[in-house]
Amino acid sequence: MRELPNWVILLIILLICLVFVILIMFGIPQKAVEKLKIWVRVIWGTIA
């Protein structure tokens, strides 16, 4: 468990939201969703 500044956590959350918005705009392939879920878990595991 690492201590991250609040702005780093906010930045990561914003990036994840941005990725979701882009995917929704361009249509989401199922494979991309699965990869995104894995990445979110990996990033979340790194933070928590």
Note the pLDDT of residue 25: 80
What's the CA gap between 15 and 10, in Å, rounded?
Answer: 9
HSE of 18, CA atoms in CB hemisphere, 13 A = 6
| Distance set, CA 37 to CA 3, 5, 6, 7, 22 (Å) | 23, 24, 23, 23, 15
Note the pLDDT of residue 1: 54
Note the pLDDT of residue 11: 92
Note the pLDDT of residue 14: 93
What's the CA gap between 42 and 48, in Å, rounded?
Answer: 10
Q: Rounded to two decimals, what is the model's pTM?
A: 0.46
State pLDDT tens for residues 1-48.
Answer: 577 788 888 998 999 889 888 877 877 677 777 888 888 888 888 866
Mark residue 2 as left, alpha or beta (left: phi above 0; alpha: psi -120 to 50; beta: remaining): beta
Note the pLDDT of residue 40: 84
